[in-house]
Amino acid sequence: MVQDRTSRTADVFYRTWRAGACRLSDGGGPFGFDIAVALLADELITGYGCDAIAETGCFLGDTTAYLARRYPQLPVHTCDIDPGFCAFTARRLAACPNVTVTCEDSPALLARACPQYERTFAFLDAHWDQDWPLLAELDTLDSAVALVHDFDIGHPRFSFDTYNGLACGPPLLARMTCPPERYFVFDPAAVLPLPCLQTGRRAGIAVITAGLDDQPASASRYLAARSLTSAHATAAS
Ligand SMILES: C[S@@+](CC[C@H](N)C(=O)[O-])C[C@H]1O[C@@H](n2cnc3c(N)ncnc32)[C@H](O)[C@@H]1O
């Protein structure tokens, strides 16, 4: 069963065009062309029994295309603030009836779409230049499992973003209106069932369970649990 899911994930993943290569520093592709993230996402979507997917920041639709075809039974909502990127992604995915692409600010998408479902899988990837809506996105979530891209997991192989001197890492989580006691990060020592073919930039990953049980994330073979320390809370104040 797990093997079937792994094969299906790999099959759809490696058949997805990397349109984002024109601008993204990781060369584009689903989840930055990191199969480990696709495997983790599959574990979370299955373990939480997610009934919808939301992506923030579609750009040219590489991850949207993967998610839409890997999970044709689930509604996939995605957005971008750039009308040209939205038009490109909508055209690219015109044959996928489960996809809705909207041009809007990402916290607005999450606030509108997620309450329609019981357990949303949210891929938070909206950031560009100085625009960084992640904190507002996290604050809208209730009853969702969120995968944050470009998070500081404290390992040199995995990159993260910094905006206005604030790293996308634990100090950012400490600024949430209701910071989680525990969150999860991708474990660099995790044994993958498939080789990761991304030889360039890999992004750190954090997982936050908003209003959902921690158990499926705790049981993940790809994640390690972390707690927000008082040092992070101090950094946030
Ligand atoms: C890193 S790219 C996303 C890549 C895409 N998820 C993928 O996997 O190919 C970030 C995108 O977020 C969009 N973005 C930035 N701020 C946003 C906001 N506030 N709301 C929606 N999209 C935003 C940018 O226009 C850009 O296309």
> How far is 94 from 116, CA to CA, in rounded Å?
23
Q: Whose CA is nearest to atom 27 of ligand 1?
A: 59
Atom of ligand 1 nearest to the CA of 61: 9
Supply the pLDDT for residue 230.
Answer: 54
- Which atom from ligand 1 is nearest to the alpha carbon of 127? 15
Q: What atom in ligand 1 is closest to the CA of residue 105?
A: 20
Q: Which atom of ligand 1 is nearest to the CA of 32?
A: 8
More confident residue, 87 or 237: 87
Is the minimum distance from the CB of 88 to ligand 1 under 6 angstroms? no
Point out the ligand 1 atom lying closest to the alpha carbon of residue 85. Answer: 27
Strands 99-103 and 205-210: unpaired
Q: What residue has token string 């692409």? A: 101
Which run of H or E residues covers position 92?
helix 83-92
Confidence of residue 233 (pLDDT cuts 50, 70, 90): low
**Closest CA to ligand 1's atom 6:** 58
What's the pLDDT band for 162 if we cut at 50, 70, 90? very high
Q: Ligand 1 in contact with 63 (CB < 6 A)?
A: yes
pLDDT digits 0-9 by tens, 55-114: 999 999 999 999 999 999 999 999 999 999 999 999 999 999 999 999 999 999 999 999
Write out pLDDT tens, residues 179-220: 999 999 999 999 999 999 999 999 999 999 999 999 999 999
Long-range Cβ contacts of 103-109 (<8 Å, 24+ apart): 103/79, 104/79, 105/79, 105/81, 105/133, 106/56, 106/57, 106/79, 106/81, 106/133, 106/136, 106/137, 107/133, 107/136, 107/137, 107/139, 107/140, 108/79, 109/54, 109/56, 109/77, 109/78, 109/79
| Ligand 1 within 6 A of CB of 82 | yes
Ligand 1 contact, 23 CB (< 6 A)? no
Cβ–ligand 1 contact at 59 (below 6 Å): yes
Share of residues in the chain with pLDDT > 90 (%): 91
Helix (H) or strand (E) holding 69: helix 62-70
Q: Given its phi and psi angles, is residue 129 left (phi above 0), alpha (psi -120 to 50 degrees) or beta? A: left
91 token code pair: 């055209």
Say if residue 49's pLDDT is above 80.
Answer: yes
Mean pLDDT of 164-188: 95
Give the per-residue pLDDT at 134.
96
Ordered structural domains, the chain, with CATH: 2-236 (3.40.50.150)
166-167 vs 162-163, strand pairing mode: antiparallel
Q: Which band of pLDDT confidence, cut at 50, 70 and 90, is reported for residue 232?
A: low
Whose alpha carbon is nearest atom 22 of ligand 1? 80
pTM above 0.85, yes or no: yes
Q: Is 126 in the pocket of ligand 1 (CB under 6 A)?
A: yes
Is the per-residue pLDDT at 229 higher than 80? Answer: no
Ligand 1 centroid – CA 16 distance (Å): 18
